[in-house]
Structure 1
Amino acid sequence: MRYEQTKKLSNRQFKRLVGVQQRTFDEMIKVLKDAANLKQTRGYPNKLSLEDQALVCLQYWREYRTYFHIAREWEISHEVIQTS
């Protein structure tokens, strides 16, 4: 489920899906954006937004699914997940 789709969920549904409260997730995104602003980027742009990258990470931690299965769901290469 992409970040745009999670916006439609209630706080309780969001926590049940992701494992953290919406407010906590929003704070995580602020920290990630601050870190991304300091980082110099080269190469191709990311296929996933920072919000989606955080959701992938939380999904991995919460469900212990393999990179292969997560990559299939998100329609990205599993090598992308391993290097993030």
Structure 2
Amino acid sequence: MRYVSLQNLPPDAFKRLVGIPPDLFAEQLMVLEQAERAKRKPGRPSPLSLADQLLLTLGYWREYRTLFHLGVAYGVHESTAQRIVTRTEQRLLAAQADRERLAATENLAADTVVVVDASESPIERPKKQGDFYSGKTHAHAKVPTCD
């Protein structure tokens, strides 16, 4: 199942087949395209388009198909399918984390001041050493010697 054959499906049929609506698919595809453009070293091009890579990942998540079956269906090796799924997951998670971080900073008012207290605070220590003392000696303690 390639993306080229799914483009003409009605939105309801697309969602039934893929698991997400076409507009969400387009949004995720845009995230993958941005991540692809931001790569420092392009490397060897993938045998699948980004849309097909996203479809492969969604098939892995939705249908619980093995990577071997997905590889055969998309004409790639099992290990290539694993790399595609891993890379797609990482890119989508990174975009989600960026979106959450941006939303958190937008919620702060422009005149809001955030104060972090990093001062030293006292540590509770036992009042009686005997109750908590394990009996071990420390390396810096003097050891009695026999003469």
Q: Same fold (TM over 0.5)?
A: yes
Paired residue type of 2:34: D
Query: In percent, how many aligned pairs have the same letter?
Result: 41
Name segments (4+ residues, structure 1) moved above 2 Å.
Answer: none
Tell me the TM-score normalised to structure 2 length: 0.55
1:44-80 CA-to-partner distances (Å, cap 9, x unmatched) read 2110000000000000000000000111111111110
In 2, Cα distance between equivalents of 1:82 and 1:64: 13
Indicate the structure with greater helix content. 1
Q: TM-score, normalised by structure 1?
A: 0.94
2:3 counterpart of 1:3: yes
Q: Is 1:52 aligned to residue 46 of structure 2?
A: no
CA RMSD in angstroms comes to 0.8
Looking at both structures, which has the greater relative contact order when contacts are Cα pairs under 8 Å and sequence separation is at least 6? 1
Residue 75 of structure 1 aligns with which residue?
A: 75
Structure 2: state its 5+ residue gaps: 85-147
- Give me the whole-angstrom Cα distance separating, in 2, the residues matched to 1:14 and 1:39: 30
Amino acid at match of 2:80: V
> What residue ranges of structure 1 are gaps of 5+ in the alignment?
none
Larger radius of gyration: 2
The number of aligned residues is 83
Aligned to 1:28: 28
Q: Distance in 2 between matches of 1:82 and 1:2?
A: 18
Partner of 2:134: none
| 2:19 is equivalent to residue 13 of structure 1 | no
